[in-house]
Structure 1
Amino acid sequence: MTDLFDPIETMGASRETMAMGAVLLRGAALPFESELLAALRDITVHSPFRHMITPRGYTMSVAMTNCGAAGWVTDRTGYRYDRHDPETGNLWPPMPDCFLALAIAAATEAGYPLFQPDACLINRYEPGARLSLHQDKNERDFANPIVSVSLGLPATFQFGGLKRNDPISKFALRHGDVAVWGGPSRLCFHGVPELKHGHHDLLGAMRINLTFRGAL
């Protein structure tokens, strides 16, 4: 299905540079909007959102689920990818075609044409939820970029450097924006400060973030 989508023709997205190897594609997910939301509903029926526990026993304010060949999980034993949903014991739901098409198209437009994601971490932010500065480093191969899709309420994206105390740039994320980072930016620290109250016409008082990775 992915060969039906030409990255530039389908998206018509404006490009904003975040750092070397990192771009923000404004509105890139909007052509996929209805398909994404329908697929998301199906995924969460089989693997509902849950607030995971960190190895230190902290309950995350962001609710999470996954789809694809593997899912990112955290509990008292550590951070990892697992082929099975630990809450249901079943395989994670397969990655929908529209998810895969969007991720590949965005990565291609950002300069990473070989990206074939096998995992999608789905985050649900409600007002007050946040994600502290962190690196995505549980994947086996850092040659793959990260593709991050924003849906629903607006948020602020903090994008730093390779050290936690490096200077941080802030970018306003709106419904349909897609951030892609890889290469020299692949291990940059990033995060989302506390989500503000608001209402989105399609998603209500929440923000959904789809984060595509090459995990296995």
Structure 2
Amino acid sequence: MSAGLGMALFDTGVGCCGVVWGENGIVSVALPANPRHGGGVAGNPAGAARARTRASLAAAYPDAAEGPVPAEARAAIDGMVALLAGAPVDLAEVRVDLAGVPEFHERVYEVARAIPPGQTLTYGEVAVRLGMPGAAQAVGQALGSNPIPIIIPCHRVVAAGGLGGFSAPGGSATKRRMLEIEGALAPPPPTLFDDLFADS
């Protein structure tokens, strides 16, 4: 199944991400192995962070080869970079390859892809849109298995009382950072620590 797959790394507002594509669309997106939350990657040089993202994708897709990026994959990468720079980019038209993904998960992902940048739904609201009220936990499990974050924006689905979990590297801190960039959450107020370094 992995024959003919291509792979590329790209830098975003949360760090180095990776993407794998095939003839039927985007197969996988890897969020940074060492996410960046505002500043640099603490204790991890950029090269090490890129190496970890590459290793993560290579382990999952050992036959994916780095090389020239076709136009369709390049457009998807450019869209993700713009989105994570704060542009209100809609990635709903990017082709994704969900071969082997359970049908219920596909339905959850379809609802998630319809959430515009800067907006969120709760797990329960997604379940209601699927006509399955009470299935919030199953929705959360499906989103936790999302192979194509950013393009399938699982970070825009939150718990009723807060952010909820996030299975990607960096956990809920990465989720919060992505929602802040998109304007769905206000960034935290500056701390005394920030103020001290702002004056230095």
Q: TM-score range by the shorter chain?
A: under 0.3
Q: TM-score, normalised by structure 2?
A: 0.26
Q: TM-score, normalised by structure 1?
A: 0.25
Write 1 or 2 for the structure with the bigger share of strand. 1
Write 1 or 2 for the structure with the bigger share of helix. 2
| Structure with the larger RCO, 1 or 2 (CA within 8 Å, 6+ apart) | 1
Structure ID, larger Rg? 2
